[in-house]
Amino acid sequence: MSSYAITGTSRGLGLEFVRQLSQSPNNTVFAIARNPDSATKLQDLASQRPNLHVIKADITDPQSLSSAAASISKITNGTLDVLINNAVSTNQAAAPVPPSQIPLDVTATTEFFRVAYESSLFGAIWTTNAFLPLIEAGKDKKIVHISTAMADQHLIKNTGISLTVDYAVAKGAMNVLVAKYAAELAPKGIKVVALSPGWVDTFEGPKPAEYEGFVEYLLNSFRKIWPDLKGQIVPEESVRMVLEVVDGLSEEQSGLMISHHGNEDWI
């Protein structure tokens, strides 16, 4: 029996993590959501599975994370086996802007990166530190931060993708943070990893033409490395593979960014 806490569970990958993990009654699953009352799919799932607990918290609000950890601690008697930090926010207006077009203006540049850094870097710190005492007392002692291959320098160089600067740079900073945590926590037997879930289609509802165009741009870019690539995978497949990697996470992998294959094969 293992206990899991997952952030960003209202939709997409986070919701799929919750769905797959809570399928086993032997798991105790804590679904952390910023606005759980409006997360109808999550609430419907929780109403059917007594081993699933919905917890309100925002990864950009340290106090709410502390409160969430305290709530979980009461249920688990002060332990947590696996933390999966999946929540992320980005500035959508920044996505199509290459680095040379970031304004020569302090306020504009700060705003360009603010949302991504608050969630991917600061949120990763606050989430880790809020739950760290529970992880230390847990059995599996694993902390997983969902990252992205868009922060891999070799991929950027070989595909020529110069966009999504805010997201990629913030996740790159998070990857270094993961390595620092892994170095600090290794003596306590805690494994910390950045894990890319692959190229996953998490868009819900009708897709705007500009979104479809961006996906086509990425597909053509990725084909420079993977010429036989057909397209995105679905959340169910991605999460299944990610959980297999998490289950078998080794000390050698701790501190690294790895993929849903357990290596650096990002697609």
Q: What percent of the chain has pLDDT over 70?
A: 100
- Does residue 11 sit within a domain? yes
pLDDT in tens, 173-200: 999 999 999 999 999 999 999 999 999 9
Q: In what order do the strands lie in the sheet with 28-33?
A: 52-56, 28-33, 3-7, 82-85, 142-146, 191-196, 257-259
Q: Is 41 noted as a catalytic residue in this protein?
A: no
- Residue 205: band (very low, low, confident or very high) from pLDDT cuts 50, 70, 90: confident
Domain assignment present for residue 228? The answer is no
171 is catalytic: yes
Tens of pLDDT along 94-126?
A: 999 999 999 999 999 999 999 999 999 999 999
Give the mean model confidence (pLDDT) for residues 240-260: 98
pLDDT at residue 5 greater than cutoff 90: yes
Q: What is the mean pLDDT of residues 219-236?
A: 98
* Residue of 4, 117, 142, 167 marked active site: 167
Q: How many domains does the chain have?
A: 1
Q: Which domain holds residue 115?
A: 3-206+233-259
Say if 253 falls within a structural domain: yes
Q: Which H, E and C letters describe the chain, residue by residue? A: CCEEEEECCCCHHHHHHHHHHHCCCCCEEEEEECCHHHCHHHHHHHHHCCCEEEEECCCCCHHHHHHHHHHHHHHHCCCCCEEEECCCCCCHHHCCCCHHHCCCCHHHHHHHHHHHHHHHHHHHHHHHHHHHHHHHCCCCCEEEEECCHHHCHHHHHHHCCCCCHHHHHHHHHHHHHHHHHHHHHHHHCCEEEEEECCCECCCCCCCCHHHHHHHHHHHHHHCCCCCCCCCCECHHHHHHHHHHHHHCCCCCCCCCEEECCCCCCCC
Q: Does 72 reside within a domain?
A: yes
β-pair type (82-85, 142-146)? parallel
In a domain, 40, yes or no: yes
Residues for the chain: how many in total?
Answer: 267
In a domain, 223, yes or no: no
**pLDDT of amino acid 86:** 98
44 domain-assigned: yes
- φ, ψ of residue 194 to 5 degrees: the values are -100, 130
Whether pLDDT at 1 is above 90: no
Q: Which of 141, 171, 181, 191 is catalytic?
A: 171
What's the mean pLDDT in 202-220?
93
| The model's pTM | 0.96
Q: Is the pLDDT of residue 161 over 90?
A: yes
pLDDT, position 232 = 98
In a domain, 37, yes or no: yes
Considering the chain, what is the average pLDDT of its residues? 97
Dump pLDDT digits (tens) for 44-62: 999 999 999 999 999 999 9
**Mean pLDDT across 23-30:** 98
**What pLDDT is attached to residue 234?**
97
Side chain identity at residue 207, one-letter code? K
The CATH number of the domain where 43 resides is what?
3.40.50.720
